[in-house]
Amino acid sequence: MTTSTPDRLLIRDAHVFAADDAGTQWPCADILIEAGRIAAIGPGLAVEGPIGRVIEAKGMLAIPGLINAHFHSPGNLMRGMLDGLPLEIFMLYEVPPLAAGVPVGHLNYVRTLLGAAEMLRLGITSVMDDAFHVPVASAEGIDGIARAYRDIGMRARLAIDQPNVVEYEKYPFLHDLLTPAMRAAMESAPRQTDEELLALYAHLVSTWDGAGDGRIGAALSCSAPQRVTLPYFVGLSELSERHDLPFNCHILESKLQRVLGEEKYGRSLVRYVHDLGHLDARMVVIHAIWIDEDDMALLARSGATVAHNPLCNLRLGSGVMPFRALADAGVPIALGTDEATVDDTVNLWGVIKQAGLVHTLSDDEYERWPAAPEILSCLWRGGARALRWPDIGHLTVGAKADIALLDLDTYAFTPLNDLRRQLVYCESGSSVRMTIAAGRVVFEDGRVTTIDEAALRAEARALMAGYRQSLGPALEEARRLEPAYRAMVARAHARDVGLRRRLTG
């Protein structure tokens, strides 16, 4: 009689790309999975004892599940909603400063599932979700997001991205460009105290860090240093240290933020965070486009990881991150989709390809352009580092069993000339046939196995109707505010900050 061992899986005869330090590739090898981890891997494994399921993978490529190092699930309902806009004007509509509250628990659950399902279909098994809440964060809203990742079977770190200063304090020049009535409206908009937000973090860490058999983890987020009070920023950094959790921080995404640093702190925002004593190896510095040489040296010394989101940066015209200079300085780089409002597909494959292409614009020396292995290293090694989960991003004994199986009998891999280049430049995600997260098959035969996808999409469409209506007045307000923001952006863009990150200077 055979004992049932559903958590023991054998993948047989796959072409394996291990993404390990040695660059191991086997044209034909087996992977034994036990209790969510890789128990053995290599050609012709002799496996004893009962197996829950044997997956015949001849003609398939096994790679580590992809790691999306920067993402905001609240954008999931907003794909295609906006044209390309400069960050500061985009955010007026993304997170309207005068928005009223909407019921969040179920909305957040459905909205998060929508992006998670799309990611699992594409072989993305891990995500850092820097989730924002409009206008205020709540335990119910946080729980909705965390439950979604737990239920669908994805690995996720979840942060609370919640600014808590008055809207005009986040920007240079804006205060003086607004009418007194607009300023008053911003001052009376709902805002949470440091204590309220730290209490929500206590809830997030105690309820969700380590939940779902360790698949769900907490992370910290200040959104950006200029968007929160200083005591709250310090409190977040201390929490990050106490629990050894990633600390997400958008820094120098736009030229305007470079100008803000000069105006408000008399220095670059990277240096500002460094001088506070909180630029460290747990920090995930998101975007880092308008950084200078001094910033790069500080980042390198700190051990922080930079999350690079080239598609989002193009969509918002933010500029091109100095990839080669950062990498040469020794700064680890991870890749992210950012959010469905600015990378409208949640498809990390597009980001991988874009990261492999866009940096040719910044360097005349072709030897300095990133090559495919470097981009893949950002994806897996950089991603694992950003999430502070060293057991993901490689197929080695003891690693988490997060695996994507791709069909090699597709146009992307025909003929097979160079696997790594074809992963970066040819694959769109359409070759993914199976996704395994924490040793469980979560996508196969064209279906996410853990939810009813058709019902999910129908519910998302239905919820969106009400959501759109509830956002209506806030978007109307945003349109009234836009001329002031446009004047602010123009004023910042006119300044010479001594850096060029866009072709127009």
- Interface ranges with Zn ion (CB under 5 A): 338
Tell me the C-alpha distance between 231 and 469, whole Å: 36
The CA-CA-CA angle for residues 312, 205, 233, to 5°, reads: 60
In angstroms, what is the minimal distance from the CB of 165 to Zn ion?
18
Q: Supply 148's token pair.
A: 């979604």
By beta-carbon proximity to Zn ion, the closer residue of 240 and 422 is 240
Cβ-proximal residue to Zn ion, closest one: 338
In angstroms, what is the minimal distance from the CB of 339 to Zn ion?
6
In angstroms, what is the minimal distance from the CB of 280 to Zn ion?
20
By beta-carbon proximity to Zn ion, the closer residue of 36 and 246 is 246
In angstroms, what is the minimal distance from the CB of 239 to Zn ion?
20
DSSP result, 168-183: GGGSSSHHHHS-HHHH
What's the one-letter identity of residue 291? I
Specify the DSSP element, H or E, that contains 305. strand 305-308
Phi, psi of 498 (to 5 degrees): 80, 10
In angstroms, what is the minimal distance from the CB of 70 to Zn ion?
6
DSSP result, 106-160: HHHHHHHHHHHHHHHHTTEEEEEEEEE-SS---HHHHHHHHHHHHHHT-EEEEEE
Q: 58: helix, coil or strand?
A: coil
Tell me the C-alpha distance between 14 and 58, whole Å: 5
In angstroms, what is the minimal distance from the CB of 68 to Zn ion?
12
By beta-carbon proximity to Zn ion, the closer residue of 111 and 440 is 111
Q: 301: helix, coil or strand?
A: helix
In angstroms, what is the minimal distance from the CB of 118 to Zn ion?
18
By beta-carbon proximity to Zn ion, the closer residue of 129 and 338 is 338
Q: Supply 268's token pair.
A: 């670059």
By beta-carbon proximity to Zn ion, the closer residue of 118 and 338 is 338
Q: 281: helix, coil or strand?
A: coil
By beta-carbon proximity to Zn ion, the closer residue of 249 and 434 is 249
- Residue 10 pairs in a beta bridge with 32, 54
By beta-carbon proximity to Zn ion, the closer residue of 292 and 338 is 338
